[in-house]
Amino acid sequence: MSNIDILFPPLLQRLPPALLALGAQLVALLAVAATAVALRESGTVLPFPLWIGLTGLTAALLSRWSGLPAWWQAINLAFIPLLWLALQSEIDPGWFLAGFALLALTSLGVIRTRVPLYLSSTRAAEALAARLPKNARVLDLGCGLGGPLANIAALRPDAMLHGVEAAPLNWLIARLRLLGRARIRLGNLWDSDLSSHDVVYAYLSPVPMPRLWEKARAEMRPGSLLISNTFAVPGIEPDEVVELHDLSHARLLIWRMR
């Protein structure tokens, strides 16, 4: 193993996957472009589609080297070829700009929190509502479009509902949807105070769960509930697991804080 192999992977693991993927694309583009120029100067000219494919392959290999999961490797493999095909189709560039703007408004917090937009099922909200203490204060970390809180509000009007969401468009939709029934804050889940809530619900991703557990242990009161949709805390067994039997085969993992 070279010194580079020893040095860089631990450093790369500290970066958000989106930045690692972007870095892989940029390095791949530069490497393939430099190779193409060098071959052209030697008199060798290869078809342009071949260079497009090589760029995607190089980006995928760099993603694998940097420790990104398989689905990120697949994205990097296909990104440049699909972009090239889209440009060949003569689609109005305004559509690309609109798509980028929509993605940014709905997924702005992903780079920092590493939490994509997941939508909880109705069964998840029903299971949550059934487990709330009377007059419970509930916080949905990363409340998305407000679906779970809206369902809980209908089932448990006694509950005091709060949500926090980092993506501006999602926050706006949730706030309008829950106007008068829940308080929805635009912000980062890590800035939320968990101490005043009886139930904290999260549908995040595997990456932030260890940090969320430490935050919950430090802030939540004894007897309060931390409930995660699908994603476990490594090494910490939940007090209860509720199989939801929904389309995504999700489950609720429930920890009672001590």
Write the pLDDT tens digit of every residue in 174-210. Answer: 999 999 999 999 998 999 999 999 999 999 888 889 9
Domain count, the chain: 2
- Encode pLDDT of 110-141 as tens digits: 555 555 556 788 999 999 999 999 999 999 99
The reported pTM is 0.63
Indicate whether 70 and 128 sit together in one domain: no
Indicate whether 169 and 239 sit together in one domain: yes
Evaluate if residue 246 carries a pLDDT over 50: yes
Provide the pLDDT for residue 110.
54
3-state secondary structure the chain: CCHHHHHHHHHHCCCCHHHHHHHHHHHHHHHHHHHHHHHHHCCCCCCHHHHHHHHHHHHHHHHHHCCCCHHHHHHHHHHHHHHHHHHHCCCCHHHHHHHHHHHHHHHCCHHHHCCCCCCCCHHHHHHHHHCCCCCCEEEEECCCCCHHHHHHHHHCCCCEEEEEECCHHHHHHHHHHCCCCEEEEECCHHHCCCCCCCEEEECCCCCCHHHHHHHHHHHCCCCCEEEEECCCECCECCCEEEECCCCCCCEEEEEECC
Indicate whether 31 and 144 sit together in one domain: no
Write the CATH number for 168. Answer: 3.40.50.150
Indicate whether 128 and 212 sit together in one domain: yes
Range 45-71 average pLDDT = 87
Q: What is the mean pLDDT of the chain?
A: 85
Provide the pLDDT for residue 5.
44
Provide the pLDDT for residue 104.
57
Least confident of 64-78, 174-188, 216-230: 64-78
Indicate whether 126 and 248 sit together in one domain: yes
Indicate whether 84 and 194 sit together in one domain: no
Per the structure, the complete domain to which residue 127 belongs is given by: 122-256
Indicate whether 237 and 138 sit together in one domain: yes
Provide the pLDDT for residue 188.
87
